[in-house]
């Protein structure tokens, strides 16, 4: 019940959160993944950068000064190690953490969004859009991974709005623009800051200026360190100050701010002004706040039994503390206002969050991510079911749903839908999966089910054939498997998953009965 979807209470700290416990809730963590790439060996001399590594170093240092644990790539990072390191980073994010992703380097805008270029990106032609998507990193994948942790706040900061590093051929060019990046749709639950708006390029330096950082990064670092600056104010201040500094050099550069982070005006990366008048790590904050729109969601709650629905609500009875989101971000919807104005509902919301956090803390990997997504779905379903009628009727519906949900999550021997084991291929067991394609199949329930189904169809076909026909089919299947893995490997996880799913469904149709 965080504001927006009423995340079930207090949990994380700024930038990306996941859920913790009914047991003592641990302190919110601050984590950052910082990348700055100067060298692009496969591209031309004009595509080499001078300050991206310095920018990443400066941002990483500033984040450490305000209490973040920082993972750094500050000179060079090829696609595979960069993705692997980011995956490990995401796996360390805990409920209540604040997370920042910063990238300084080259980016390119394709038809479905912004893509960040690793050091080993090949030289691409205007017709290589499909290859470009597999050799780069989709910004939406970064945002999605951060959001999927359940973090309370996620910040994605891109100083990548430079000239398109792939020269046009005749009238054609790779990407939607040869200048900067294009307008994006705000990622749900993420605060995104571009160093320049659509069609503009970011200044690396100003003539006669010996500053080691880009125009955007020097302003961003100064603002980032200041206590009392909320995330919303951070975006606005950086936008205004960068635009002013760039115009003083005769250049149009206005950073683009995309804010879909609920409660951003109440979140402070460097602490509040009252808590600190120095650039020291932020003092411990109150109990973590459940991820905005990202907390509770298991199977849809069934309509409560009449005996439960008719149970009188006693708003005058104070039941424990109220949810932090009632005061931090402030209630926005009618349901939020009702919860925050009713002590019993507020106390129930806090208790549910504690139970939810404790349950989530016992899960890991894909199971925890499914649990988080189920919880979001539960909130949406509950709000839709309880949204109409008088305030008293809504209170009764909400209280019944929250208490039923709390009872369900409190039963350790009652698995939720997200925790029920999915059917997986035998080869996924143990330490067998090694390649990226194998890991994606084993971690994705839908791909796992299709792999099991395809294996059954394959075995059935082999059993029906004899002699040379059987040998040809086995050989053909091996060739298909090798071709599929080669064709689908590389690129963003979502692209690999889509390629695998399409391939296996087509193959199942070919050999199925």
Q: Are 334 and 390 in contact (CB under 8 A)?
A: no
Instruction: Return the CATH fold of 30-266.
Output: Rossmann fold (3.40.50)
Largest Cα–Cα separation, the chain: 82
How far is it, in rounded angstroms, from Cα 136 to Cα 114?
10
Q: Are 240 and 222 in contact (CB under 8 A)?
A: no
pLDDT value for 482: 85
pLDDT value for 320: 56
Question: In this model, does residue 351 exceed pLDDT 80?
Answer: yes
Backbone angles phi, psi at 268, to 5 degrees: -125, 115
Percentage of the chain lying above the pLDDT 70 cut: 73
pLDDT single digits (tens) 104-158: 998 888 877 788 999 999 988 777 888 888 889 988 889 888 988 878 889 999 9
Q: Are 330 and 3 in contact (CB under 8 A)?
A: yes
pTM: 0.50
**Residue with the larger pLDDT of the pair 383 and 85:** 85
Least confident range from 239-253, 268-282, 284-298: namely 284-298
Nearest to 325 by CA among 362, 293, 363, 370: 293
pLDDT value for 434: 61
Question: In this model, does residue 27 exceed pLDDT 60?
Answer: no
pLDDT value for 178: 45
Q: Are 3 and 340 in contact (CB under 8 A)?
A: no
Domain definitions of the chain by residue range: 30-266, 306-419, 426-511
> pLDDT grade, residue 389 (50/70/90)?
confident
462 three-class SS: helix
pLDDT value for 422: 54
How far is it, in rounded angstroms, from Cα 70 to Cα 58?
12
**Residue with the larger pLDDT of the pair 305 and 358:** 358
Tokens of 104: 């300084």
3-state secondary structure 380-397: HHHHHHHCCCCHHHHHHH
């Amino acid at each position: 019940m965080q504001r927006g979807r009423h995340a079930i209470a207090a949990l994380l700290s700024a930038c990306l959160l996941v859920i913790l416990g009914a047991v003592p809730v641990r302190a919110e963590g601050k984590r950052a993944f910082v990348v700055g790439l100067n060298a692009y060996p496969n591209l031309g001399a004009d595509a080499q950068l001078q300050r991206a590594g310095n920018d990443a170093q400066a941002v990483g240092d500033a984040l450490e000064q305000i209490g973040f644990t920082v993972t750094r790539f500050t000179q060079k990072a090829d696609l595979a190690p960069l993705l692997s390191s980011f995956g490990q980073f995401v796996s360390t994010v805990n409920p209540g953490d604040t997370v920042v992703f910063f990238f300084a380097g080259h980016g390119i805008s394709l038809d479905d969004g912004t893509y960040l270029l690793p050091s080993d990106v090949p030289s691409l032609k205007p017709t290589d859009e499909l290859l470009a998507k597999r050799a780069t990193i989709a910004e939406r994948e970064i945002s999605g991974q951060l959001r999927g942790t359940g973090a309370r706040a996620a910040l994605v900061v891109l100083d990548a709005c430079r000239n398109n590093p792939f020269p046009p051929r005749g009238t054609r060019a790779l990407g939607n623009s040869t200048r900067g990046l294009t307008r994006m749709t705000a990622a749900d639950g993420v605060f995104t800051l571009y160093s320049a708006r659509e069609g503009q390029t970011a200044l690396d330096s100003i003539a006669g200026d010996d500053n080691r950082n880009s125009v955007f990064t020097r302003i961003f670092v100064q603002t980032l360190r200041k206590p009392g600056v909320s995330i919303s104010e951070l975006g606005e201040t950086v936008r205004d100050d960068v635009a002013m500094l760039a115009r003083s050099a005769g250049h149009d550069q206005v950073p683009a701010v995309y804010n879909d982070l609920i409660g951003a005006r109440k979140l402070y990366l460097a602490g509040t002004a009252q808590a600190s008048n120095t650039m020291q790590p932020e003092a411990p904050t109150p109990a973590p706040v459940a991820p905005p729109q990202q907390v509770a969601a298991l199977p849809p709650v069934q309509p409560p039994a009449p005996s439960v629905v008719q149970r009188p609500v006693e708003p005058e009875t104070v039941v424990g503390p109220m949810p932090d989101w009632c005061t931090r971000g402030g209630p926005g919807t009618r349901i939020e206002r009702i919860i925050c104005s009713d002590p019993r509902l507020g106390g129930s919301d806090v208790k549910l969050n504690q139970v939810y956090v404790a349950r989530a803390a016992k899960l890991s990997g894909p199971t925890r991510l499914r649990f988080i997504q189920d919880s979001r779905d539960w909130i949406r379903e509950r709000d839709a079911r309880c949204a109409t009628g008088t305030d008293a009727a809504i209170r009764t519906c909400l209280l019944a749903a929250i208490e039923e949900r709390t009872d369900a999550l409190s039963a350790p021997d009652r698995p939720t839908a997200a925790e029920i084991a999915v059917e997986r291929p035998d080869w996924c067991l143990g330490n067998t999966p090694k390649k990226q394609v194998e890991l994606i199949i084993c971690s994705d329930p839908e791909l796992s089910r299709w792999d099991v189904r395809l294996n059954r169809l394959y075995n059935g076909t082999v059993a029906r054939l004899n002699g040379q026909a059987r040998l040809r089919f086995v050989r053909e299947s091996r060739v298909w498997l090798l071709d599929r893995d080669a064709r689908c490997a590389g690129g963003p996880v979502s692209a690999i998953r889509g390629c695998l799913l399409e391939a296996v469904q087509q193959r199942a149709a070919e050999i199925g009965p």
